[in-house]
Chains A and B, each alone.
Chain A
């Protein structure tokens, strides 16, 4: 039962990510696209954690952790580029 619920929630999260992609496509400014990318990042982390439980292979949790840190640094660099014109 719980596995069925988790699979259906994974499908729902994928649909939510496509809705966020719609916003990233039509977004008038670049910051709208940043917001949509942040939503997609959170959804991907949650999907990785759910598959860690479905497959009983808990090393996926480390993958999700590294993904969170990488997305954070990427967003920080893009925002610094937008504010100041250079990264370093």
Chain B
């Protein structure tokens, strides 16, 4: 009786995690851009993996293996956002084009380039004067 209740709770968490993984992959297949695909991947994948790890914790029920599963869940929940952030930063620094119709409000790289160019010009003027 008790075990059956555990199994039903675990099946609920398993199908929830599978649903989120499926939604993430559909977003990966259908969205138009690197950034939007990454947006779909980063959140849905972390949430789905976390839910399935919780379900396996309920199923296993042994304190040693639950500790290892907690460790794996924490690793996935920290590593996946780090990787997503680094992919976004790399795509932005390489100048990957965005989808049609999207725009930037505050372009950090362009402002840095402008500041560096103005600094170089000021240094050249100082050399000419001296």
Residue numbers of A with Cβ under 8 A of B are: 1-2, 5-6, 9, 12-13, 16, 19-20, 22-23, 29, 31-32, 34-36, 38-39, 42-43, 45-46, 49-50, 52-53, 58, 61-62, 64-65, 68-69, 72, 75-76, 79, 82-83
Q: How many A-B residue pairs have CB under 8 A?
A: 120
Contact B79 A61 (CB under 8 A): no
Q: What distance in Å separates the Cβ of B55 from its nearest Cβ neighbour in chain A? A: 9
Chain B residues bordering chain A, tally (CB within 8 A) = 45
Residue numbers of B with Cβ under 8 A of A are: 7, 10-11, 14, 17-18, 21-22, 24-25, 28-29, 34, 37-38, 41, 45, 48-49, 52-53, 56, 59-60, 62, 64-65, 68-69, 71-72, 75-76, 79-80, 82-83, 86-87, 89-91, 93-94, 96
Contact B90 A65 (CB under 8 A): no
Q: A34-B87, A79-B83 are in contact. List 17 more A-B contacts (CB 8 A).
A: A12-B18, A13-B21, A19-B25, A29-B96, A31-B94, A38-B41, A42-B49, A49-B52, A50-B52, A58-B62, A61-B72, A64-B72, A65-B68, A65-B71, A79-B87, A82-B94, A83-B94
12 chain-A/chain-B pairs, Cβ below 8 angstroms: A2-B7, A12-B18, A13-B21, A20-B25, A42-B21, A42-B45, A45-B49, A53-B56, A65-B75, A68-B76, A76-B83, A83-B93
**Residues in chain B near residue A31, CB distance under 8 A:** 34, 38, 87, 90-91, 94, 96
